[in-house]
Structures are given as structure tokens and as C-alpha cells.
Structure 1
């Protein structure tokens, strides 16, 4: 039976994360019409137990799971390999450290059941961070309009078959999630009620490194694909909005502001050479 839904999970050294990710996915509510879902885990250049952990997860009825181990590294290569094998009419691109809530997959199938190009994501919630700095930063960051009201797509995004025809092969870029989101107009992007849990990196320095990587990804897209910028709809809170949030959460604001200032400085740049920065 051809699956209705394909979940594509690129994974590089995700031991300890891929198991919970798959367990949460397989605990999803039944898909509409009891349709079949397929999961493609593309392990790229892993030198830990990611592949073994993924293969050890029991696959329930209604799901197919294939774990592919590639010697080649790189998320874009993993995405290409997964797309080449995916059969579902709806495609979900899921980070291996994200856990989805039970209703999310079914909601995605319902809203993307259209001949018109559409994109969807859930409502993000931050996983508990061990670092106080990360908790304070995340507490403030999650109050920003883009996170609370937009369709950010970080950690998980989905599109229907008509939407996936917007481009062919994935370009070799830093920010695949931003590229995918901006390939759809705001009216084509749908935020779902169902939640998913997404982890922030731990500690001040790692927050700086990842923010710099995100900024580099946005700059790269603006330079290489300027036509996509017409689809940007990020709402800025403005001075009054920032002040209101700062008064409500002074510690969170100071942490967020400190990371932002250091991102724009020359500090910690000696190690910011990788296109992919995890910071765990």
C-alpha cells in the first residue's frame, strides 16, 4: 500500500535522541482513513549508536520504517537520499532531536490534503534545558511574535506533493528550513494547534554560535535566492513590544540581549567555521 505520509529524518550522531523521536512518532494518532505512514531515517556519517538505536525501535502496525546508513556526511545529502525514496503524498521533514505530540501527524495529513501547494508546521515548545542561560534565553525568545504566532518550521516542516514541486534537488545551503518556508507565500503556510518539542542548544557560547549560523543562513538565501524574500512575514515586536517583554522578564531579556550583542561582535569567532553547528 502506498503510504499517505512520508517522514524524512536526517540524522548525524543522534544517539539518545533518535529513539525518543521515533517512539513519539509511532505514538501518533491514527492517520485519516487509517492510512499508512512511512519513516525514512537517513543516518549520515554516524560514528555513534544512532543506527542501532533507530533499528531497535519497534514499528507498530500502520507504519513502515527504513533506516539507511550513509558513509557520506551532510544534511543536504541525507535530504536528497530521503526524497529519492519517499513515496508519500505528504512529506514531513523532521529533525532527529524533535518529539511530536500525538495529534500532529494526523493534523498535517488533513490540512495538506489539497491539490494546491501548501506548507505546514506545528506549534513549537522548547524542551527543558539544563543550562540556566539557555532556559532564560528560551523563555524570552518564545514570547517573540514569530515563534508565538508565525509558522517557523524549525525542527519540523511539511508540504504536500504540489508544494514539493516548487523546487527539485535541495540546494547546498545552510538553512534548508528557511529555504523551504520561504518557498511558500504566507497564505500557503499553515500553523497547526498540535505541538512539538524542540531543544535549544546548551550554554551561552553555543547559543551565540547557533545564532551566527542562523544569520549566515539568512544572508546566504538573500544572496542566492533573493526572489524568496517576498515571502518573508516575520513580525518584529518593535521598541514598545521589547520594553513590555523586558519589564515582564528582565532576566530573560538581559540574557537574550547579551547573546544578540555578542553575535554581532567579534567574540568567539575563532571556532565559528562550520556550516553546521549543533553545540551539544
Structure 2
């Protein structure tokens, strides 16, 4: 990975918030670091409430390629707390926030860093590729539709990766206690301050329909929470995007029906959680297999 860091130093920080991610964080860091000369990326793992040796696994994986890992170990589990602590500790900008269960190649990390080489407050993300080969047929159909939607193809920030330059971090300020951190970050920037680079990263799909519905229910409630705080968001809806994808032949009717079924089930589960006051994160363990 070439870069413009002073005297061959780090060109960006990769911040990995991690709660009990020993099964997957090694894979995450191997993909990131295998083509990067030591010292060109600063890796900061913020372990929050972990009890499975997450930091030790991360350090072993990075050491395979001559890299070191800096770690913050927080007693309290919680992604927002991990992000707050990690972002406050960053001293090499830009910062790429990477979920431990995703895979970000070095070329994509460099593209994100290049996109953020500006004094304008900017948030960047990369092209999402969903690994669903081990998932059920219904899950695969859902993701065929979801990845065709305009929001995912053109305006998404997050789903495993987002990046900020230092002016962007100052714009963001201290993250509030929200469920949908990606949505809060995205909505902190105007459309012209968001960059989507064409280089890819990989996120792993839930393997079962039940796990997918649980994950999507969390997103539904997270989006409702943002709407209460920030107001309704302008832009294309999923329904409009779905109609466009069906009309264009990009997705078939069976896939569209699967998408609608999962969406309806997710909204029902989300409603039940709201009635119960259930705000648990509910990590999807089906996509976190040993790697």
C-alpha cells in the first residue's frame, strides 16, 4: 500500500470496535494487512466487554504480516462507547471504522484515504459486496433485492465500513446513544459531503431467515429512533427502489416477494421489541463463524 504519510509513516488509522469477535477478527485483519508494508496503516482495536481473547487474536493475525495492533480494552460492552473512545484516541487521519466481521482489502482502504484528502468535512464508504453463499435461499433472495436498491448502490454509509477525515470527525462530534450509528454518521453530512468509492468490501450475510429478521428488526427500530431525533429523511424509499428494480428486470418477482416477506416480518418483530422496551443489540452469531 503506497501512501503519503510523512517519512513513510502511517497514512490512515483503521479503527475496529470489537465485542467478543475472536472468531472473525483474525480474518478481518489478514485481508486488510496482507498487502500493506508494516507501519503504513495504524490499527486500533477497541475491545468492549470482550471475554474471548479478541485482542490477542488480533495481535497474532497482524503480526503474521509484521504489523502491530494498538488496543483499548473497555470493561463495558457497547459499540457507541467503543466508537467514542476509539475516535478520541485517533492521531493519524483519516480514520476508517471497520466492523470486525467484515473484510476490507488494502486497495479499498487506500481509496478511502485518498477520497478523504480534503479540508472539507467528508464521510466515505466503499462498495458493499454481500457474502451470502452459506445463507438460506430466502436470505440470498432478500440480499439480491437489497443490494439492487439505490440507497445501497449510491448513498449508503456503513453496513460495516465508513471513514472520516479529521474535519469530518469534528463535524460529527460526540456520538449520542443511538442504535443506528451508521445512520447517525450518514445524516451528519450533506449528500455532497458523502463519497462512495467503487472499490469493494465484504460483509457476511446472516445464515438463517430468523437471524436476518432479527438483524433487520434492529435496523427498523434504529431508523425510527433517528427519525424521532432528526426528522424524516428525504430521498428514494425502498418501496420505490424495489418497483424500479422489478420493472427493469434487475430482480425477479420471487426475489421481490422474499424481500417483502422479510421486511414485513422484521417490522413485526421490531414492533414487539418496542412494546417490550427491548433495546438489546442482538449480535448475529450465524455470520460469525471461526475464520
Q: Say yes or no: does 1:118 pair with 2:125.
A: no
Does structure 1 conserve the Cα–Cα contact (< 8 Å) formed by 2:13 and 2:92? Answer: yes
- Change over 3 Å in CA distance of 1:110–1:123 after alignment to 2: same
Q: Which of 98, 105, 117 is matched with 2:102 structurally?
A: 98
Counterpart residue number, 2:289? none
SS of residue in 2 equivalent to 1:166: helix
CA displacement at 1:258 relative to structure 2: 0.8
1:106-185 superposed matches below 5 A: 106-132=110-136, 133-185=138-190
Q: Say yes or no: does 1:26 pair with 2:37.
A: no
- Structure 1 distance, partners of 2:173, 2:250, is 47
- Structure 2 distance, partners of 1:180, 1:253, is 29
- Change over 3 Å in CA distance of 1:268–1:219 after alignment to 2: closer
Counterpart residue number, 1:55? 59
CA displacement at 1:37 relative to structure 2: 1.9
Counterpart residue number, 1:11? 18
Q: TM-score, normalised by structure 2?
A: 0.84
Q: Say yes or no: does 1:261 pair with 2:264.
A: yes
Deviations 1:144-175 (A, max 9, x none): 11112223322100011111111322111101
- Change over 3 Å in CA distance of 1:267–1:197 after alignment to 2: closer
- Change over 3 Å in CA distance of 1:49–1:265 after alignment to 2: same
- Change over 3 Å in CA distance of 1:247–1:84 after alignment to 2: closer
CA displacement at 1:279 relative to structure 2: 2.5
Q: Which of 229, 241, 244 is matched with 1:241 structurally?
A: 244
SS of residue in 1 equivalent to 2:73: strand
- Change over 3 Å in CA distance of 1:157–1:273 after alignment to 2: same
SS of residue in 2 equivalent to 1:196: strand
- Structure 1 distance, partners of 2:251, 2:80, is 40
Does structure 1 conserve the Cα–Cα contact (< 8 Å) formed by 2:214 and 2:269? Answer: no
CA displacement at 1:182 relative to structure 2: 0.9
Does structure 2 conserve the Cα–Cα contact (< 8 Å) formed by 1:128 and 1:199? Answer: yes
Of 13-22 and 266-275, the range deviating more from structure 2: 266-275
SS of residue in 1 equivalent to 2:278: coil
How many matched pairs?
273
- Structure 1 distance, partners of 2:282, 2:154, is 26
Q: TM-score, normalised by structure 1?
A: 0.87
Does structure 2 conserve the Cα–Cα contact (< 8 Å) formed by 1:119 and 1:159? Answer: yes
SS of residue in 2 equivalent to 1:122: strand
In the alignment, structure 2 segments of 5+ residues that lack a partner are: 1-5, 286-291
Does structure 2 conserve the Cα–Cα contact (< 8 Å) formed by 1:36 and 1:64? Answer: no
CA displacement at 1:202 relative to structure 2: 2.3
Does structure 2 conserve the Cα–Cα contact (< 8 Å) formed by 1:146 and 1:152? Answer: no
- Structure 2 distance, partners of 1:158, 1:76, is 16
Counterpart residue number, 1:207? 212
- Structure 1 distance, partners of 2:58, 2:161, is 18
What is the alpha-carbon root mean square deviation over aligned residues?
A: 2.6
Q: Say yes or no: does 1:87 pair with 2:91.
A: yes
